[in-house]
Amino acid sequence: MKAIIFDFSGTLDNLDDVRLSAVEHALTEIRGDLSYEERLKEAKEVIVEIFRLDLEMQSASIKDIFYKALFLKYGYTISDKMEKLWQIYYSYRQTHRGLLESFVNNFPLISKYKLFILTRSKEETIRELLKKYNIEEHFQIYRTRKPSTETLTLIMYEHSLKPEECIMVGDDVILDLMPAKMLGMKTILRSGYVDYFIPDFNNIDGFI
């Protein structure tokens, strides 16, 4: 193996946890009457909408997606507070976002390979986070829409790599791993949402 290609958001960073906490934090402005557990439940419902809209609106800003997710959940009743909710959400998200501790701790093992990031996020946002950990110079960043076999092919072409020399690490099977697998790369799913993984239904009784 010569190269590792990473998705970024939700794979290398703690965005999933931070995003949920940020929504819950913002909801205290309009749902402060609820208990923390009740507010967290509503925050999870908003997050599901954010995930769905993120797939549907790949070219939209995170602000537009946040606005629409809240509108779908609460309607026009919070229109006058939308900007304040966004400011609370975004401030919390920016303050608490960072790389996964397990990734940073194991970076000496990872850094011996050619490292790439394949992402829909803004390059400057990613570089800013990488700089905090003094590892920015190890990565080459390719910004693209997903799923994309074209950008993966471009990475291999520009760096004289073969599919069997690359491994793709991501948190989404369709957006990250399927294109890589179609090109013949190895793939790794990084997810906190999966309890078990099965390639087929042999021995399924062992998981139930």
Looking at the DSSP bridge assignments, the partners of residue 88 are none
Alpha helices, DSSP H, located in 36-106:
36-56, 62-74, 82-96, 101-105
If you count them, how many residues does the chain have? 208
Q: Which residues contact 7 (CB under 8 A, 6 or more apart)?
A: 117, 118, 119, 168, 169, 170, 171, 172, 175, 176
| Euclidean distance between CA atoms 54 and 71, whole angstroms | 15
Of 60, 78, 96, the residue at which a domain comes to its end is 96
- Please state whether the predicted TM-score (pTM) of the whole model is above 0.75: yes
* Same domain as 19, residue 55: yes
Residue 154 and residue 108 share a domain:
yes
- Structural domain includes residue 49: yes
- The domain total for the chain is 2
pLDDT computed for residue 121 by the predictor: 86
Q: Please give the Cα distance from 163 to 104 (Å, whole number).
A: 26
Residues 76 and 105 in one domain: no
Domain termination site, one of 36, 62, 96: 96
Backbone angles phi, psi at 39, to 5 degrees: -70, -40
Q: Compute the average pLDDT of residues 31-41.
A: 96
Average pLDDT value for residue range 120-132: 92
User: Per-residue pLDDT averaged across 105-128, rounded?
Assistant: 94
* Other residues' Cβ atoms within 10 Å of the Cβ of residue 73: 16
> Does 118 lie in the same domain as 20?
no
The domain of 180 spans: 3-13+99-189
**180-195 mean pLDDT:** 94
The pLDDT tens digits for 128-168 are 999 999 999 999 999 998 899 999 999 999 999 999 999 99
